[in-house]
Chains A and B, each alone.
Chain A
Amino acid sequence: MDHLDKLEAQGVYILRTAYREFKNLVMLWSIGKDSTVLLWLARKAFFGHVPFPLVHIDTKYKIPEMIEYRDKLALEWNLNMVYGINQKALANKETFPDGKVDRLGCCKNLKSEALKHTLSGEWPRYRLNHQTQKYEEDTNKEPYTGVIVGARADEEGSRSKERYFSPRDAQNDWDIGDQPPELWNQFNTDFAPGTHLRIHPLLDWTELNIWEYIHKEKIPIVSLYFDKGEGKRYRSLGCYPCTNSVASTSKNIPEIIEELKSGKFSNIAERSGRAQDADDGGTLETLRRGGYM
């Protein structure tokens, strides 16, 4: 087994543990490369099926190609696709592009708040009807209490402190100093009522591992990551007002891998194109404490 096989086996093991232990389990799918790898791992773990809903938080500022790609795969792979949205903030124009709040405030409104209320079931959830190929308001209002997330330890400081199974209490608080231990392949799967759980199967993966795995498994990936002849591409995907493309001529996955291994990006942080990180003193800690994933 090479290192990708090992990472895959561990990811699959964690997903299967989560599925066995938690009833109201969902997976967050941001449409980016990491959570798409996560989705692929789920298909591996459950032999072609994804036996829980995939949740996407739509900010309405996502690059349109991302939404097209989401719905295409959801139909092809028979996914239980659900999205949530902060309609109020959008209606009141409490967003950064509308100028009413700063970047962090906008992230909080359109992502953290939307996610929180979508998971709890307080705000409407929209589920893809595979017959009509349209989204309909979901009748299931039960809170989702286990959330599988594609966070990686190498992304930035606070993420390197996560556990594979990481509890948050009812207030979404993350007590970094007093996290229960995880030993060997035993995780904390018993929780007091009211506790929410984040599950991080990709914690030990690096950005390079993600691309190597996408290449090896031929996972379809949204084409925004590739240069289409203009000498630029996206390295990390988010909302278009806050995500800049990077100057790069990588047109395919092997070229991206080369660029990460020894080329121009081997020493530049992945999220350098995300403006909100810089506003938070270089870490995402403020956002993560408030429930950002």
Chain B
Amino acid sequence: MEPITAEKNLEKVLDKMNIVVAGHVDHGKSTLIGRLLADTGSLPEGKLESVKKYCEKNSRPFEYAYLLDALKDEQSQGITIDSARCFFKTPKRHYIIIDAPGHIEFLKNMITGASRAEAAVLIIDAKEGVRENSRRHGYMLSMLGVNQIVVCVNKMDLAGFQEERFNEIVKEYDLFLKEINIRPAGYIPISGRLGDNIANKSKEMNWYKGNTVLEFLDLFEKEKSDEKKPFRMPVQDIYKFTNMGDDRRIIAGKIESGQIQIGDEIIFYPSGKKNKIKTIEVFNAALPKKAVCGESTGFTLDTEIYIQPGEIMCKSSEAPAQKGSLIKTNLFWMGHQSMVKGKQYKLKIGTRSAAVWLHDIVNVLDASDLASVSNKNQIDRHDVAECILQTFKPIAFDLSTEIASTGRFVIVDNYKIAGGGIILESLGLQNEIIKEHIRQREKNWERSSLSIVDREERYKQKPLLIVITGENDIGKQKLARSLEESLFKAGKYAYYLGVSNALSLSSASGNIEQSRASYIRQLGEISHLFTDAGLILITTASDIDDAEYETLKMLNNPSETFVIYVGKEKFLSPLWDMKIEENFNISDAVQSITEKLEAKKVLVDYMI
């Protein structure tokens, strides 16, 4: 072995493709894979012999499927429990092959495997014919976005290698696939047990002139890269490793589509904040000028703005991401408990998590025969439903037909991913809910005969909500109490609302977003009472975001809302009305807040 050849060989890097093998239970998926491994010489030395020996020892006939079912309890049960991964290669490329369980109990494992596949092999037993999971798996593949499919009619040896039987199955299944808009690359008659038409052409079925399984696999194309589509990067995190001597503030994430360069104008959704790419950061290499789809990367920006993980970064010059809180989706459910209305779930899309409710069910589809069931009130296990979901806060997304990776989501129920789906349509912003609530409130409000102006003149002040926000433990409460005292001494009617006094953050429920959402709502309602009474209300809240700010402002209307940010971040968001640096001096801070309020004519001096 000369090292020179070794160096040369290194340059020849083979492509890699994920393939899923799906189909009804016992139709021969694992057998086909075992065959592919054996016939391409991809088994580790001695593996075939050791499994054969194991079978002999346990007086069971050897089956190719045993090669895969490496786990002990699987061999004894005879069914594949999870999507095993295995590897084989042809001269064209490497394959990662995923064996998807056909048993209905393990649909979630099939989906786990299939959601990462670029192409699929669907197997149908020649004797049993098209069964419920042949259809269900076909439907799931189309929903998961796997478009390259080849169908194998297996166990042809048991059907006497008859062309008629093969044609019968092809006809029936092709009708079904047409309904769900799948065009398979082809249909192959095979025998997994005997190896016909898998790696080698069948001698028994001369009537079949098409490709073998292996030839079909090599004909599949690599997933088309989304490089030409609009730029999307869900923000995964914002890093600042100051304590490790690094002052860069890096916006990190994986680019899901498009490409971007230094100097490009960008915009974040749903916040709508704009900025410009300053640098593209990498470890241990020269900084690149450009980053493309598929890369896990990081950026520094021209100016420092306050954004949160979960937003989608887009390019200003391209089609924007959608923003909304009412979405029409296609969803499949895998949870043991049905999905019901009125219960809160967690939606995960891109890098964003959001509280979500099932708003309405358009129809539920039984994927095994495509019969549609309307009037269903809940989505049961293994159902596929067209339904409308509602988030509390606006989320950013794309329609799945436009950009697949930012157009799909999962639903978490009881700590587990219980459903997945794709977005079909945006139905607008959910702000409507709060607006409607306010309309109702105004309508039902019993007004006194005193107007706000009457109170302003008496109290010699305008009613006002002051929210002091920022990180935890930065002195917000102390500042709020001092501000109250100072305003009071200056003759104002101010009241400090200690959050723990009035509101209960029910953290015991374990659902932070829900308690946070209702907390903001309560705070808004209480503020409205105080300001309606003509008072200045001062309160604190840790790190409120844009949507929460909007909610507070709307609920506190028509009185003013003034937000003060306390913290060490350098940036100033347009959201805050003013900012106080960390480690502030209390009386200086109170002084500058008072000046700012006066300058903005929020605090009017009536003492003339």
Which residues of A are interface residues toward B (Cβ below 8 A)? 1-6, 8-10, 12-13, 16-17, 19-20, 43-49, 51, 78, 153-154, 156-158, 160-161, 163, 176-177, 179-186, 188, 190-192, 195, 203-204, 206, 212, 215, 217, 249-252, 254-255, 257-259, 261-263, 267-269, 281-283, 285
With a CB–CB cut-off of 8 A, which chain B residues contact A160? Answer: 70, 84-86
Q: Are B283 and A43 in contact (CB under 8 A)?
A: yes
Q: How far is the CA of A160 from the CA of B252 in the complex (A)?
A: 30
With a CB–CB cut-off of 8 A, which chain B residues contact A281? Answer: 72
Does B179 sit at the interface, judged by CB under 8 A?
no
Does B412 sit at the interface, judged by CB under 8 A?
yes
Instruction: Determine how close the nearest CB of chain B comes to the CB of A263; give it in whole angstroms.
Output: 6
Closest 9 CB pairs of A and B: A157-B70, A258-B6, A12-B296, A181-B108, A180-B416, A254-B6, A9-B296, A3-B16, A269-B44
Q: How far is the CA of A47 from the CA of B383 in the complex (A)?
A: 44
B227 to A, closest residue via Cβ? A1
Q: How far is the CA of A72 from the CA of B284 in the complex (A)?
A: 19
Instruction: Determine how close the nearest CB of chain A comes to the CB of B116; give it in whole angstroms.
Output: 7
Q: Are B82 and A183 in contact (CB under 8 A)?
A: no
Q: Are A282 and B50 in contact (CB under 8 A)?
A: yes
With a CB–CB cut-off of 8 A, which chain A residues contact B241? Answer: 46-47, 49, 51
Q: Are A188 and B416 in contact (CB under 8 A)?
A: yes
With a CB–CB cut-off of 8 A, which chain B residues contact A13? Answer: 236, 254, 296
Contact A156 B70, CB 8 Å, known A3-B13, A269-B44: yes
Does B128 sit at the interface, judged by CB under 8 A?
no
Does B237 sit at the interface, judged by CB under 8 A?
yes
Partner of A47, one of B86, B246, B420: B246
Instruction: Determine how close the nearest CB of chain B comes to the CB of A75; give it in whole angstroms.
Output: 15
With a CB–CB cut-off of 8 A, which chain A residues contact B96? Answer: 204
Does B389 sit at the interface, judged by CB under 8 A?
no
Contact A181 B334, CB 8 Å, known A161-B84, A191-B415, A204-B96: yes
The residue among A45, A156, A184 with the most chain B CB atoms within 10 A of its own CB is A184
Instruction: Determine how close the nearest CB of chain B comes to the CB of A112; give it in whole angstroms.
Output: 19
Q: Are B6 and A255 in contact (CB under 8 A)?
A: yes
Q: Are B71 and A158 in contact (CB under 8 A)?
A: yes
With a CB–CB cut-off of 8 A, which chain B residues contact A257? Answer: 6, 9-10
Does B184 sit at the interface, judged by CB under 8 A?
no
* 17 further A-B pairs in the complex, CB-CB below 8 A; given A176-B82, A192-B415, A258-B1: A9-B296, A12-B254, A13-B296, A17-B236, A43-B283, A44-B282, A47-B246, A153-B85, A157-B70, A160-B85, A161-B71, A183-B417, A184-B405, A190-B346, A190-B412, A254-B3, A259-B1
Partner of A184, one of B246, B334, B408: B408
Partner of B72, one of A2, A8, A285: A285
With a CB–CB cut-off of 8 A, which chain A residues contact B116? Answer: 184
Instruction: Determine how close the nearest CB of chain B comes to the CB of A209; give it in whole angstroms.
Output: 9
With a CB–CB cut-off of 8 A, which chain A residues contact B85? Answer: 153-154, 160, 203-204
Q: How far is the CA of A196 from the CA of B112 in the complex (A)?
A: 21
With a CB–CB cut-off of 8 A, which chain A residues contact B250? Answer: 47
Main secondary structure of the interface of B (DSSP, over half): mixed
With a CB–CB cut-off of 8 A, which chain A residues contact B13? Answer: 2-4, 212
Instruction: Determine how close the nearest CB of chain A comes to the CB of B301; give it in whole angstroms.
Output: 15
With a CB–CB cut-off of 8 A, which chain A residues contact B109? Answer: 179, 181
29 contacts between A and B (CB under 8 A): A3-B14, A3-B94, A6-B294, A9-B296, A10-B296, A12-B254, A13-B296, A44-B296, A47-B241, A47-B283, A48-B283, A49-B246, A157-B70, A161-B84, A181-B108, A184-B408, A184-B410, A185-B254, A185-B405, A188-B417, A215-B10, A257-B9, A263-B1, A267-B41, A268-B44, A281-B72, A283-B72, A285-B71, A285-B72
Q: Are A188 and B415 in contact (CB under 8 A)?
A: yes
A187 to B, closest residue via Cβ? B417
For B106-118 the 0/1 string (1 means CB < 8 A from A) is 1011011001100
With a CB–CB cut-off of 8 A, which chain B residues contact A157? Answer: 70-71, 84
Does B309 sit at the interface, judged by CB under 8 A?
yes
Does B298 sit at the interface, judged by CB under 8 A?
yes
Which residues of B are interface residues toward A (Cβ below 8 A)? 1, 3, 5-7, 9-10, 13-16, 41, 43-45, 47, 50, 70-73, 81-87, 94, 96, 106, 108-109, 111-112, 115-116, 144, 236-237, 239, 241, 244, 246, 248, 250, 252, 254, 281-284, 292, 294-296, 298, 309, 334, 346, 348, 351, 405, 408-410, 412, 415-418, 420
Q: Are A20 and B410 in contact (CB under 8 A)?
A: no
With a CB–CB cut-off of 8 A, which chain A residues contact B81? Answer: 161, 176-177
Contact A161 B82, CB 8 Å, known A176-B71, A180-B417: yes
Q: Are B1 and A158 in contact (CB under 8 A)?
A: no
With a CB–CB cut-off of 8 A, which chain A residues contact B412? Answer: 188, 190
Partner of B15, one of A3, A8, A251: A3
Q: How far is the CA of A47 from the CA of B346 in the complex (A)?
A: 31
B241 to A, closest residue via Cβ? A49
A11 to B, closest residue via Cβ? B296
Q: How far is the CA of A75 from the CA of B418 in the complex (A)?
A: 44
Q: Are A181 and B237 in contact (CB under 8 A)?
A: no
With a CB–CB cut-off of 8 A, which chain A residues contact B248? Answer: 47
Partner of A9, one of B144, B294, B309: B294
Q: How far is the CA of A48 from the CA of B45 in the complex (A)?
A: 40
Q: Are B7 and A254 in contact (CB under 8 A)?
A: yes
Q: How far is the CA of A259 from the CA of B10 in the complex (A)?
A: 11
Q: Are A5 and B294 in contact (CB under 8 A)?
A: yes
A191 to B, closest residue via Cβ? B415
Instruction: Determine how close the nearest CB of chain B comes to the CB of A225; give it in whole angstroms.
Output: 15
Instruction: Determine how close the nearest CB of chain B comes to the CB of A176; give it in whole angstroms.
Output: 6
With a CB–CB cut-off of 8 A, which chain B residues contact A154? Answer: 85-87
Instruction: Determine how close the nearest CB of chain B comes to the CB of A281; give it in whole angstroms.
Output: 7
Instruction: Determine how close the nearest CB of chain A comes to the CB of B97; give it in whole angstroms.
Output: 11
With a CB–CB cut-off of 8 A, which chain A residues contact B82? Answer: 161, 176-177, 179
A281 to B, closest residue via Cβ? B72
With a CB–CB cut-off of 8 A, which chain A residues contact B45? Answer: 267-269
Q: Are B70 and A283 in contact (CB under 8 A)?
A: yes
B252 to A, closest residue via Cβ? A16
B309 to A, closest residue via Cβ? A20
Q: How far is the CA of A161 from the CA of B16 in the complex (A)?
A: 20
Q: How far is the CA of A10 from the CA of B18 in the complex (A)?
A: 14
With a CB–CB cut-off of 8 A, which chain A residues contact B415? Answer: 188, 190-192, 195
Instruction: Determine how close the nearest CB of chain A comes to the CB of B230; give it in whole angstroms.
Output: 19
Q: Are B9 and A262 in contact (CB under 8 A)?
A: yes
A270 to B, closest residue via Cβ? B44
Instruction: Determine how close the nearest CB of chain A comes to the CB of B149; give it in whole angstroms.
Output: 18
Instruction: Determine how close the nearest CB of chain A comes to the CB of B235; give it in whole angstroms.
Output: 11
With a CB–CB cut-off of 8 A, which chain B residues contact A255? Answer: 1, 3, 6
Q: Are A183 and B246 in contact (CB under 8 A)?
A: no
Contact A16 B294, CB 8 Å, known A3-B13, A188-B417: no
With a CB–CB cut-off of 8 A, which chain B residues contact A1? Answer: 292, 294-295
Q: Are A183 and B111 in contact (CB under 8 A)?
A: yes
Q: Are A16 and B296 in contact (CB under 8 A)?
A: yes
Instruction: Determine how close the nearest CB of chain A comes to the CB of B221; give it in whole angstroms.
Output: 16
Q: How far is the CA of A203 from the CA of B410 in the complex (A)?
A: 22
The residue among A5, A13, A252 with the most chain B CB atoms within 10 A of its own CB is A13
With a CB–CB cut-off of 8 A, which chain A residues contact B237? Answer: 16, 19-20
Q: How far is the CA of A44 from the CA of B250 in the complex (A)?
A: 13
The residue among B16, B241, B412 with the most chain A CB atoms within 10 A of its own CB is B16
With a CB–CB cut-off of 8 A, which chain A residues contact B246? Answer: 47-49
